[in-house]
Structure formats: C-alpha cells, structure tokens
Structure 1
C-alpha cells in the first residue's frame, strides 16, 4: 500500500517578467520531477499552481509526506523558489467535514 500524502505545502516564487509559457514549462518540469519521485516510492502530488501576473508571483500547492520531498521536486525540476511553508487548505468539503454545513457569506469591508 502506498504511503498517504499527509501534509500540504505552498511554494512561492517571485518571478518578474514571467509569461504564460514560462509558467507552463516550469509546471511541466515540476510534474515530471514529482512523477520521478512517486515512481521511486515517495508520494508527492502537485495540486495546483496559481500565476498572479500583476504581482509577478507563482504559487504552487503540493501534497507530500514531508517538506524534504517538496524540496527534492524543486531541485529535480530546476525550479527556484523564494518561500515554502506548510499550509492548510480550506475547501467546501473540509468545511463540511468540520461540521460547517451552511454556506458562509462573506461581505466586503
């Protein structure tokens, strides 16, 4: 049985001048590196990447057993980053799991 992906990590890269093609190529390299690690028995998954062109930032969300696994994907993928940290992602499913069955309404302040 494959080990469970237990932690979620957010990698942040400040990337001035990056374009859509740059981000897509970087994502391909990271996916290839994550696939290599998974084949080696180290489960890791790239959940999503978000490119914020106005801020020149790319945020990539990973699920992995430990931080070192994410660092290895970055190394193998040739992808420098500025910051990485463990995060908790809140989704509709996780809110429901915690007992928040009603939709939360947010108001602008």
Structure 2
C-alpha cells in the first residue's frame, strides 16, 4: 500500500468535531477494507491557529482515499501521494 496525504482547511472546527471526523475516517476505513478495498487511517496533524489539517492514509490509490473521505463526509482540499519518513529506532 502507498501512503497518501489528505490536506484540509478546517477553520473554526471544534476539537469535538475534529475527533468525530477522525472516528468517521477510522470507521469508514474499516468498512471499506472489510468490503475488499484496503485503506487505513494512519494519523493527523492539526494546526489550530490556521485550521490546517494534514491526514495520512495508506491505500492502493488516491481515488480510494478520496472515496473514503467523501463517504465519511470529511471535507478535503486535495489528496496526494506522500512518503511517511520516520527516524530509525
């Protein structure tokens, strides 16, 4: 699976709303995977001052990740392939 970055602009979103969106992403990813479209929510980074939110997903295609976000009713600006670079342990 590839890693995809989902960019969002969510000015004014409350932490409760953000948490609910995260739960919808996780639930929708589970449903899609169970139905044969492997996709996984990895994590998000949120910048409260600007409302910018960047979410990482793993999936087979950007289209699958877009479809997940549309099904979960989470607005997004774009979905792009990315590299999740982690330091060596």
Pairwise TM-score range, normalised by the shorter structure: over 0.9
State the Cα RMSD in Å. Answer: 1.3
Given candidates 9, 21, 27, the residue that maps to 1:14 is: 9
Deviation at 1:49, TM superposition (A): 1.0
Which residue does the alignment assign to 2:41? 46
Deviation at 1:80, TM superposition (A): 1.4
Deviation at 1:10, TM superposition (A): 0.4
The one-character-per-residue Cα deviations of 1:52-93 (angstroms, maximum 9, x if unpaired) are 101211111001011111011011101110121111111124
Given candidates 56, 59, 64, the residue that maps to 1:61 is: 56
What is the aligned length? 89
Asked if 1:72 corresponds to 2:67, the answer is: yes
Q: Secondary structure of the equivalent of 1:84? A: strand
Asked if 1:81 corresponds to 2:76, the answer is: yes
Q: Does 1 or 2 have the higher relative contact order (CA < 8 Å, sep 6+)?
A: 2
Greater fraction of residues in strand: 2
Question: Structure 1, unaligned stretches of length 5 or more?
Answer: 1-5, 97-109
Runs of 4+ in 1 over 3 A off after TM superposition: none
